[in-house]
Amino acid sequence: MERTLLLIKPDAVQRGLMGVIISRVEQRGLRMIGMKLMRVSRTLAETHYSIHQGKPFYDKLIGYITSAPVVAIAWQGNRAVAVVRQVLGATDPTAASPGTVRGDYGIDIGRNLTHGSDSIENGQAEVKLWFTADELLDWERIGEEWVFET
């Protein structure tokens, strides 16, 4: 089953947007299988964002994600990666559509509130990077047959 990592970044936590962000994904129908409030270590930040190492915004990005608590959430369901990316909207909030988290609540790209895994492979890998096996719960959410056709 497809899995994806959602991060509610420090700006969203500080601005009191945890609940609305979780609600949007929860109401879409994905199953939450893990969630934690945590302070991100420099090591985890650098591993998670290793693909961006060397880019002009890299140092600021590591500073941003480690600056205050984040909420890490693992979601599972058909098309989970695409659904979360769609709920979050484009990376630059001024390019994100209204109705998306970034389009409704963000302005600057360096304060874009959230992270969502960008491929099925990265979804699996990022859930493994951020959660230990015993932090993930195997459970049935009732009514999933009314969200997923199969």
The binder of 78, among ligand IDP, Mg ion, none, by C-beta within 5 to 8 A per type, is: none
Of 49 and 133, which CB lies nearer to ligand IDP in the complex structure? 49
- Alpha-carbon dihedral of residues 139, 145, 147, 150, nearest 10 degrees? 100
Regarding 61 and contact with ligand IDP (CB under 6 A), the answer is yes
Judged by CB under 5 A, the chain residues 85 through 144 that form the site for Mg ion are 118
Residue type at 121 in one-letter notation = E
The Cα-based distances of 142 to 10, 32, 73, 79 in angstroms read 32, 12, 19, 18
Nearest to 52 by CA among 102, 120, 60: 60
52 labelled catalytic? no
The Cα-based distances of 97 to 16, 90, 114 in angstroms read 21, 7, 15
Binding mask 71-100 for ligand IDP (x = CB under 6 A): --------------------x---------
CB of 41 to Mg ion, least distance (A): 19
Residues with a catalytic annotation lie at: 115
Binding site for ligand IDP (CB under 6 A): 52, 57, 61, 91, 109-110, 112, 115, 118
